[in-house]
Amino acid sequence: MLGSIKGPDDVKRLAADELPQLAVEIRDLLVDSCARFGGHLGPNLGVVELTIAVHRVFDSPSDPIVWDTGHQAYVHKLLTGRAAGFAALKQEGGLSGYPSQAESEHDFVENSHASTALSYADGLGKAFKLRGDRDRTVVAVIGDGALTGGMAWEALNNIAAVKDLPVVIVVNDNGRSYSPTIGGLASHLSTLRVNRRYEDFLDYVKDKIGNVPLLYDALHGVKKGVKDVLAPQVMFEDLGLKYVGPIDGHDEQAMEAALRQARDFRGPVIVHALTQKGRGYTPAENHDEDQFHSPGAFDRATGAEKPKGRIWTNVFSEELVRLGKEREDLVAITAAMLHPTGLNAFADAYPDRIYDVGIAEQHALTSAAGLALGGMHPVVAVYATFLNRAFDQLLMDVALHRLPVTVVLDRAGVTGDDGASHNGMWDLSILQVVPGLRIAVPRDGDRLTELLREAVDVTDGPTVLRFPKGPVAESVEPVGKLGEMDLLRAAEGEPDVLLVGVGPMTQVCLDAAVLLDAQGIAATVVDPRWVKPLDEALGLAASAHKLVAVVEDNGRVGGVGDAVARLLRDADVDVPVRTYGIPQEFLDHAKRAAILGKIGLTGQDLARQITEAVAKRTSHVEPARH
């Protein structure tokens, strides 16, 4: 049946008694696809019936469907004709793991950062009103986790202020324990709440009998009091939003009925659906940690994930636990990423010193500031791409007060599979402007433990430690020191090129140095360890070379390369600087190694580019000597 679905019209044509079989086929395909390559399995297993109902009631793409976050949009992709593409889900050249405008007109927004869908919906709904598109409705599907983000509530406040805004908000609630409200009276009240005649009657009473406010208050109060006993809707209706639910999100017919009521109201309505994450796949349902939220490749029969080996996150996690034992002032903060950032081990060891603030990175940083003001040393662990959301708080709430807060950035640099929005390629640029901030970038696991310890020892300002996704790099021991920098390779004879490797890029530099040596170009390789502020010894080292090349896993604009060039200018060191990093563009999804190869961040590519740069400089300089 799924093979016949080329778009939402095909879903609408199905008879109601055919839909359970469609749901079974969807779940089978989801499990098969994610077992091969990994993916966001649990959330999508939980929204199968919900998504079918959405596409049977609304007319995508005329009615935009915005997903928050986009990782729960796999079923949406299947129902919009992309089932064949799931054979290469999240693989280079295959389907993205998030909505993608390049894939389909049904992917209205490429939404992969949480708590934003309601703001998109607010703007789209207002645009439709202004353009006179009165037959269009915006549908925002938001998970209960995304509602922990402050931006979602800012949007709700604005949506509620426009009583005829054509927005239906589907709250996919898979994390609460209460049951759906059932029975005839509950169904009647849900219908009553989205009945225009009822609203018109209340408005009439309020306008015409305004001099008897107690009558209006009594009428509204009786209705509200009964509702509040039956359903957990108080906070939504107190905002001024109509509420339908809770609905069993796996009862497709009930979901359809609720969505039609909400659509026909022609104003902002919350439809509250209770779903089970991981529904229909026993290993996911029984997975206590996160119901297979985002597993790697796994064995379909058992659900056992294939071994990943030791990753950077493991090293950080273990060292933080050791530090926690040594220092009672150490506390940890996560923004709904306890396990992915490795803070679960710290939480197990020190349950009174861990805070999960939900999807609220801004709050996380300012709360950390408060903890530091109170005498603690907070360690805030987030994905590098999500730090962008809390830049102002790091700048004005932490750095301005010179507070000892350590921010640990996991998944820094090229992450690959999750696409453009998840590459952590911005932090080394945006953080350069923060006064008093120190940034450490370890090249391997041993340096990660060293630099983490150094970071939490800083008492007069914030520190940042960043590391990439994937297997931890093998240790590279220094052969000497240049100031506080690690000298990893000394040039033989008269030095030509100084290679400055930032963190994991030091291995790329070492690979390139061997190839350069074969071309008669002597290269020195250093690892700054701390890239902000840079060691002044770098200026002296640069002056002994003919060319400086900085290699970083970050956008080229405003990153470490620019900081090195500025350092040399300020020190009057007249040596050219070449910066090698990530181009300032949104990268297509692929494996990290494949992306690094495409953008020229490999030892072979680096050696070739530097050889060309040296050759051009030599050909330009030598005639002047004659």
Q: For residue 519, how many other CB atoms are within 10 A of its CB?
A: 15
- Listed in order, strand segments (DSSP E) in 174-286 are 242-248, 269-274
Q: Note whether 482 and 535 are within 8 A (CB).
A: yes
Q: Greater confidence, 309 or 227?
A: 309
Distance, CA of 506 to chain centre: 27
What's the whole-number average pLDDT of the chain? 86
Give the pLDDT score at 622.
46
Q: Which one from 82, 193, 263, 389 is the annotated catalytic residue? A: 389
Give the pLDDT score at 197.
55
Give the pLDDT score at 207.
60
pLDDT grade for 618, boundaries at 50, 70 and 90:
low
Give the pLDDT score at 588.
82
Specify the CATH class of 482-619 in words: alpha beta
> Per residue in 273-304, is it b (16+ CB within 10 Å) or e — as a string?
bbbbbbbbbebbbebeebbbbbbeebeeeebe
Asked if residue 146 belongs to a known ligand binding site, the reply is yes
Q: Looking at the predicted structure, is the pLDDT value of residue 208 above 60?
A: no
Q: For residue 162, how many other CB atoms are within 10 A of its CB?
A: 16
Mean pLDDT of 169-181: 64
Total residues found in the chain within this entry: 626
pLDDT grade for 186, boundaries at 50, 70 and 90:
very low
Complete edge-to-edge strand list for the sheet that includes strand 167-173: 65-68, 138-143, 167-173, 269-274, 242-248
- pLDDT tens digits along 578-617: 999 988 888 787 788 888 888 888 889 888 999 988 888 7
Asked if residue 339 belongs to a known ligand binding site, the reply is no
Mean pLDDT of 494-509: 94
Q: Note whether 72 and 44 are within 8 A (CB).
A: yes
Give the pLDDT score at 476.
95
Give the pLDDT score at 623.
43
Helix residue spans in 489-559 (DSSP H): 505-518, 537-543
List the single range of 293-297, 330-334, 568-572 with lowest mean pLDDT: 293-297
Asked if residue 179 belongs to a known ligand binding site, the reply is no
Kindly give the pairing relationship between strand 463-466 and strand 65-68.
unpaired
Pull the structure tokens for residue 498.
């100084």
Give the pLDDT score at 621.
47
Q: What is the CA radius of gyration of the chain?
A: 28
The CATH number of the structural domain formed by 312-466 is 3.40.50.970
Asked if residue 372 belongs to a known ligand binding site, the reply is no
Tell me if the domain spanning 2-211+241-286 has CATH number 3.40.50.970: yes
Q: Which one from 49, 110, 256, 361 is the annotated catalytic residue? A: 361
Q: Looking at the predicted structure, is the pLDDT value of residue 503 above 80?
A: yes
pLDDT grade for 620, boundaries at 50, 70 and 90:
low
Distance, CA of 139 to chain centre: 22
Give the residue from 529, 348, 373 showing the smallest Cα distance to 438. 529
Q: Looking at the predicted structure, is the pLDDT value of residue 155 above 80?
A: yes
Q: Which one from 227, 277, 411, 489 is the annotated catalytic residue? A: 277
Give the pLDDT score at 533.
97
Q: Looking at the predicted structure, is the pLDDT value of residue 182 above 50?
A: no
Integer Cα distance of 482 and 240 in angstroms = 64
Asked if residue 114 belongs to a known ligand binding site, the reply is yes
Give the pLDDT score at 461.
97
**Do 2-211+241-286 and 482-619 show the same overall fold?**
yes
What residue has token string 């690094």? 596
Examine the residue annotation and report whether 277 is marked as an active-site residue of this protein: yes
Examine the residue annotation and report whether 300 is marked as an active-site residue of this protein: no
Give the pLDDT score at 393.
96
Give the pLDDT score at 124.
92
Asked if residue 112 belongs to a known ligand binding site, the reply is yes
pLDDT grade for 183, boundaries at 50, 70 and 90:
very low
List the single range of 19-23, 47-51, 170-174 with lowest mean pLDDT: 170-174
CA distances from 209 to 172, 196, 205, 217 (A): 40, 19, 5, 11
Residue 399 is classified by DSSP as I
Q: Note whether 420 and 381 are within 8 A (CB).
A: no
Asked if residue 281 belongs to a known ligand binding site, the reply is yes
Q: Looking at the predicted structure, is the pLDDT value of residue 146 above 80?
A: yes
Examine the residue annotation and report whether 389 is marked as an active-site residue of this protein: yes
Domain boundaries, the chain: 2-211+241-286, 312-466, 482-619
Burial, 452: exposed, middle or buried (Cβ in 10 Å; 0-12, 13-18, 19+)? buried
Pull the structure tokens for residue 317.
């996690």
Mean pLDDT of 304-327: 92
pLDDT grade for 193, boundaries at 50, 70 and 90:
low
Mean pLDDT of 236-256: 85
